[in-house]
Structure formats: structure tokens, C-alpha cells
Amino acid sequence: MTDASFGGVTPDAARRLLLGAVDAFAERGFHATTTRDIAGRAGMSPAALYIHYRTKEELLFHISRVGHEQSVAVLAEAVEQAPDCAARLAAAVRAFVRWHAEHHTTARVVQYELAALEPEHYELIVALRRRSEEILRGVLEDGVASGRFAVDDIRGTTLALMSLCVDVARWFRPEGRRTPDEVGALYADLALRMAGDCGAAPAGVTSSSG
């Protein structure tokens, strides 16, 4: 496992355990994975795991937190750099999908093992997840306000877009026929269609952020 998402985790032993846990959780699921399995993948003894993480659940929480923080940052950066609402939506979806494809193993754990988190940790991760939804919803709202998008149900469309993007982690394989960039471009086009992109806004109609 060489996912650079955890490059900032120190010391090295803690990072190796996170990477071992990502591999194990993605392959076997959280509940079927043992601490011995995680330690073995990290090239360490089971006892060494508890020096850095109190429980298996704490490992999952760290993985979930890093993954969600990075995906939120990817979305926010894409939106900030785009010049108008259509470009923002396309850039946000393209970047979000590309991240889930490039980090598909980590993303599968991040997106599909949430139920195994303890309540306090779960709430923290859900708050980060809501931030991703808020970014996409804000882009749709700006597009509707400017006359660029035709969306009757902004909240429902936001959830549909989120579901499409994160599900890439479930099926993407590096040996497949599409690269992460190609999948991102495809989904960006689909997102604009879902938003009912009407082209340039009518004369006299402006948006405060579009």
C-alpha cells in the first residue's frame, strides 16, 4: 500500500499501521479484520499496534478523518479556482471523483465502514461529510440563482451527485479501461446534465458568486 494520503502521519510505525489497516479493512471489512492481521501487514507484532492506537476502531477513525479531510479539501480547492458556477460544478465533481479513483482502496474504507465507528467519532466524521455536501449544494444553489442551472430539488440532486462520486471507490480498478481523469471528466459531464445546465446566464441575470 503506497497511498500518499497518510504521508504526514508520524512516526513511521504509526503510518505503517494505518496503511496495513486500510488494506485489511478494504479487503476483509472492519469486523472481520483482526489486530493481528493489521500488525502483520505492517510488518510488526500485535503488541506494537497498541503503542500507537488503543483500539482497532481508533485506527478506523484516523483513516476516516484523514480521508474525509482530504476529499473536502479537494472539493473546496476545485470550487475556489473555477470562474463560474458551471465550471465550479464540473471542477468539483471531476476532482472529487478523481480522488476517489486514485485513492480507491482508502476511499472504500472511508465511505463504507462508517457504521463501525463509535458514536463520538461517527459524529465528527459525519460533520466532515456534511461539509462536502454543503460545498456541492452551494454550487447548485448559485447556479439556480443565476439562471444557469434548472434544478427543482437541490438537496436531492446534491445527494445523488455525492452518491455517484463516492461510489467510484467501490468499482474502480487501476487496470480498467478508464483512468481517474477520464472517469472524472465523464462524471463532470453527467453532473452538468443533472443540473440542467442552460449555458450562459440570460442577459441581466447575475450571481453574487457565479
Q: Does some domain include residue 142?
A: yes
pLDDT of 201: 43
Q: Does some domain include residue 122?
A: yes
Place of cell 497518510: 6
Residues 75 and 136 in one domain: yes
Cell matching residue 191? 453532473
Cell matching residue 13? 510505525
Q: Give the tens place of pLDDT for each residue, 35-74.
A: 999 999 999 988 889 999 999 999 999 999 999 999 999 9
Task: Give the number of domains in the chain.
Answer: 2
Query: Where residue 22 sits, what CATH number does that domain have?
Result: 1.10.10.60
Residues 165 and 134 in one domain: yes
Q: Give the tens place of pLDDT for each residue, 28-37.
A: 999 999 999 9
Residues 80 and 45 in one domain: no
Percentage of residues of the chain with pLDDT beyond 90: 82
Q: Does some domain include residue 61?
A: yes
Q: Give the tens place of pLDDT for each residue, 69-104.
A: 999 999 999 999 899 999 999 999 999 999 999 999
Residues 151 and 165 in one domain: yes
Residues 102 and 186 in one domain: yes
Residues 148 and 86 in one domain: yes
Residues 31 and 89 in one domain: no
pLDDT of 204: 39
Residues 43 and 62 in one domain: no
- Going by pLDDT thresholds of 50, 70 and 90, the confidence category of residue 206 is very low
DSSP string covering the chain, please?
---GGGTT--SHHHHHHHHHHHHHHHHH-TTT--HHHHHHHTTS-HHHHHHH-SSHHHHHHHHHHHHHHHHHHHHHHHHHH-SSHHHHHHHHHHHHHHHHHHTHHHHHHHHH-GGGS-HHHHHHHHHHHHHHHHHHHHHHHHHHHHTS---S-HHHHHHHHHHHHHHHHHH--TTSSS-HHHHHHHHHHHHHHHTT--SSPPTT---S--
Residues 138 and 177 in one domain: yes
Q: Which domain holds residue 89?
A: 56-194
pLDDT of 48: 87
